[in-house]
Amino acid sequence: MINIAFGKEIILGGGCFWCVEASFDRVEGVLKTEVGYSGGKANPSYESVSRGDGNIEVAKINYDESQISLEKLLELFFVIHDPTSKDKQGTDVGVQYRSVIFYEDEADKKIIQAFITKQASNYAKPIVTQVSKLQNYTKAEEYHQKYFEKNPNQAYCQVIIAPKIKKLEAHLDK
């Protein structure tokens, strides 16, 4: 879906949505990020998602494709999370933390599938990242938006999110 104000969009689930959002907020060409839920029933709450209602914690990434390609975004996504880990990223465990890429544009689906096929040889275990058409996206509660920026000294932010950001920045500096 192309929105003139916010370019193209892709929805990524790779563990805690705070990590994905904080990482992509630092990428040139990313215009806007937002955390939310998708993959299950419409209009869930954080509590229902945490109980395993079938929704996934995701980050909506709006980007300018004249500055960054979908392939590059996917590459960075695979840098900040483990695409071979089913329903788990680090200490975060549950269906809400599964690795998933939601698309709206069928052309993007082909790019995503080709990217995953190409990446498979880089991993000892099979890539388990799901590729699905976007369904029932719900923006997360306001206190989740820009969580890392609002709470940089919180323990989770220091121990889990900050190292992912450093890993991403090191990759970008290559």
- Which 8-state DSSP code applies to residue 131? E
Q: Are strands 92-93 and 56-63 parallel, antiparallel or unpaired?
A: unpaired
| Token pair of 23 as six digits | 């990482």
| Token pair of 26 as six digits | 């630092």
Compute the distance between CA of residue 21 and CA of residue 17 in angstroms, rounded to an integer: 6
The crossing angle, in degrees rounded to 10, of helices 17-24 and 162-172 is 40
Q: Which of 11, 12, 16, 56 is catalytic?
A: 16
Residue type, 174: K
- The question of whether 157 is a catalytic residue gets the answer no
Q: Are 29 and 60 in contact (CB under 8 A)?
A: no
Q: Are strands 8-14 and 130-133 parallel, antiparallel or unpaired?
A: unpaired
Q: Are strands 56-63 and 8-14 parallel, antiparallel or unpaired?
A: antiparallel
Residues involved in catalysis = 16
